[in-house]
Structure formats: structure tokens, C-alpha cells
């Protein structure tokens, strides 16, 4: 996929800004995984980008060694540079291909959003199951509670960029995990608690929030 290896100013800005202002979804996942992280020694973050989210986890859990891996060399170099500047000692970044991982030992595996940006979820998860074999896996992505998955290919012509925006069926993912000896123990919906303004450029992918009436009649923030 083009965006994995070709970083334009939009992509770099996206990754750098997260070092200054962690995303609400990052904070939510840290709270979600905090119980597992308290007893972990080594944790792997797959698809870490420039490492902003990994750095946030490392700052919240200084007794855990975090290793972030990403496919793009430029992002790995940026992550190591920023971690060094901030003096984060329990953190390092390395280049890796999630579709062809090396066998390593980690107590747990994290991944933030990346799964939906890949062409599929099966091969990436199988790489974790067979190569890393962690005690637990905690990730967020675009999921649906029912028996429907959507494979969405995004073409941003203004940026000459191609990516995926897939939505995966939780029951289907659960069955796949069970076939490889892992059990889906908990899933929680992420509820955004801040407003995000609509992007000014309609030709570049981004998110924003609107208020909508939910199924129970109450006002809900939709991203």
C-alpha cells in the first residue's frame, strides 16, 4: 500500500502531532489494557507508526519495556529520535513486516487502529499467534458487533495515496482467534468524549464529529 512507504507532509504531520497531543482512543486503550500491563515485563506494539501511542503507554507504565515495530523505516527513525529527545528509557522502535514477523517473546501485544488499515486481519493475527505467542493481545480497530465485515479500499487522488478502511465482524474475528488457541475475552466500544471540527480540505481523509439522536433517544456524539 502506497502510504506504508511513501510519506507526504500530511502523513508526517499526522504522526508528529500525536506526540504532542495523545489521541483519546490511545488513552481509552491504555485504560482498557492497564490490568494486563501491570503484570507485564515486555510488550510489543505492532504498526506503531512514529511511536506516539507507544510512548504514551511507556510513560504510563515505566516498569514495562515497550518495543514498537512498523514497516516504514522513516517512521521508525522518527520514533527513536523523539523518544531519545524526551528521555524515554523503556522504549525502542524497530522496522518489521507484520506479514512476516520474526519469532520473539513478549508478554503482550498491542496494536492501535492498524488492523483496519491492512488488506485483511487473518494473516496479521496468525503471525502474532504463531511467531510471538503472547499471553494476551489488546487492540482497537473498526469493528461491527454482527455477522458483517466490509473491505473498504480508499483512494485519495489529491495525495496519490491508497489505503484501507476495513470494518471487521467481531463474531468472525472471535471464531478465527478460537481456531488458533486464543479466546476473545472482552470488547468495549470507544465513545469519543470531545468534539472534533470538520477538516477544511474535503479531499484528504480525516475525521470529525456530529451530534445525532441515538437509538434510546439521547444525544450522542458520532465520529
Residue 10 pLDDT exceeds 80: no
CA distance 187 to 198: 28
Mean pLDDT of 89-112: 96
Query: What is the number of residues in the chain?
Result: 223
Residue 15 pLDDT exceeds 90: no
Read out DSSP for 94-161? EE--GGGPPP---SEEEEESHHHHSS-SHHHHHHIIIII--SEEEEE--EESSS--B--EEEETTTTE
Mean pLDDT of 79-102: 94
pLDDT range class, residue 200, cuts 50, 70, 90? very high
Residue 191 pLDDT exceeds 70: yes
Residue 2 pLDDT exceeds 60: no
In this structure, are residues 198 and 204 in contact, taking their beta carbons and an 8 Å threshold? no
Percent of the chain with pLDDT over 90: 79
Residue 5 pLDDT exceeds 70: no
In this structure, are residues 167 and 149 in contact, taking their beta carbons and an 8 Å threshold? yes
Higher pLDDT, 163 or 103: 103
All cell numbers assigned to 179? 481456531
In this structure, are residues 41 and 65 in contact, taking their beta carbons and an 8 Å threshold? yes
pLDDT at residue number 65:
98
All cell numbers assigned to 207? 475525521
**Side-chain half-sphere of 114: how many Cα atoms within 13 Å?**
27
For the chain, give me the number of helices (H) and strands (E)?
8, 11
Residue 12 pLDDT exceeds 90: no
Where helices occur in the chain by DSSP H, the ranges are: 2-5, 9-20, 24-37, 52-60, 73-85, 114-117, 122-127, 170-178
pLDDT at residue number 160:
86
Amino acid at each position: 500500500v502506497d502510504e506504508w512507504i511513501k510519506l507526504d507532509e500530511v502523513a508526517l504531520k499526522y504522526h508528529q502531532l500525536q506526540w504532542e497531543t495523545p489521541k483519546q482512543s490511545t488513552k481509552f486503550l491504555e485504560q482498557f489494557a492497564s490490568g494486563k500491563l501491570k503484570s507485564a515485563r515486555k510488550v510489543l506494539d505492532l504498526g506503531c507508526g512514529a511511536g506516539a501511542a507507544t510512548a504514551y503507554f511507556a510513560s504510563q507504565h515505566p516498569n514495562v519495556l515497550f518495543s514498537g515495530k512498523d514497516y516504514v523505516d522513516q517512521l521508525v527513525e522518527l520514533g527513536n529520535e523523539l523518544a531519545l529527545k524526551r528521555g524515554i528509557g523503556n522504549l525502542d522502535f524497530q522496522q518489521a513486516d507484520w506479514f512476516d514477523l520474526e519469532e520473539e517473546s513478549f508478554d503482550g501485544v498491542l496494536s492501535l487502529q492498524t488492523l483496519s488499515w491492512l488488506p485483511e486481519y487473518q494473516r496479521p493475527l496468525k503471525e502474532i499467534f504463531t511467531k510471538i505467542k503472547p499471553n494476551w493481545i489488546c487492540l482497537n480497530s473498526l469493528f461491527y458487533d454482527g455477522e458483517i465485515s466490509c473491505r473498504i479500499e480508499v483512494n485519495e487522488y489529491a495525495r496519490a495515496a491508497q489505503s484501507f478502511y476495513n470494518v471487521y465482524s467481531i463474531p468472525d474475528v472471535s471464531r478465527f482467534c478460537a481456531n488458533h488457541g486464543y479466546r476473545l475475552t472482552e470488547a468495549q466500544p470507544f465513545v469519543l468524549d470531545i468534539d472534533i471540527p470538520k477538516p477544511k480540505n474535503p479531499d484528504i481523509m480525516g475525521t470529525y464529529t456530529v451530534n445525532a439522536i441515538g437509538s434510546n433517544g439521547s444525544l450522542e456524539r458520532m465520529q
